[in-house]
Structure 1
Amino acid sequence: MKTFIISLGFALISAGSALAQSTAEQAVINLSKDKWQWMADKNVDKLATLFDDKSMFVHMGGSWGKQQELNVIKGGGIWYKKAEVYSTTVNSIGNTAILLSDIDLVAVVGGNEVVNPFMVTEVYVNQNGKWTMGSLSFSKLMRPVKLTAAK
């Protein structure tokens, strides 16, 4: 009986830990979804709160920090018009969550609309109970675009 109670206790602790992790991971997935909408809406106020002051952004044409990313979005240098997300996975390491998403991105770059398949890496850090983005990187995939109605 004592062994059963101890085993039950460990099972409950493990289940609670898994639930907390999945809740945190779902929060990051939801935050990523919101981020894509804020980028499409060019909502730099929301993005400025999300992006950590030390955040870094990697694109096909270069890499830069928070302020330049916000300036690019606000000025229309890149309009993240629509991100069609096909799959997302999250791995948590301590207070850091690494999110990978397979997407087709419809963007307007330099006045031209383009559609590219990307694996996007987003790194989020939980500081004082709040998730902020530390990094956003785009890696172009060799697969064809899946999006049927890009516009």
Structure 2
Amino acid sequence: MRALPAPGRRGRLVCFAAVGGVNTLTFSACYLPLHRLLPYFAAYTAAFAVSMVGAFFLHTYVTYRTRPTWTKFLLFPLTQVTNYGVQSAGLVALVGWCGLDTALAPPVAALCAVPFSYLLSRRILHPPHRPGPARSGPARHAPERPGPAAQAGPPSARSGPAA
């Protein structure tokens, strides 16, 4: 089975937004039942953690089509902290400075935070390729083909008597 090709930038942004929607649904699906069993903040925290782990794997496999690693997993919460910070600052600016209604400001602030979250998640989950040292010889992915010397047999058969 062949892997799907990685989406282009526009496609990645669409995937990022779709995963955000799934993440919101996951959070709600966890929070609402837990809220009946636990105090609201405990339910919120548990649902947040579950949805963040789900978002990590969805962004890794769907948005960026890369392999998850422990380093990426441990850095991924930075995207959520950034999202929260940008949304909070946007909320204060939209309400306090722009006079936007407090009911309308949160979704506008959330939309403003999407590019920041996207750029940071891309940096963490799909870092730019850093070329390694120059190699001489075949590329790793190319199958090795034996040359004429390798096909002729052992060195003693090829070179005649040792001098």
The TM-score with structure 2 as length reference comes to 0.25
The structure with the greater share of residues assigned to strand is 1
The TM-score with structure 1 as length reference comes to 0.27
The structure with the greater share of residues assigned to helix is 2
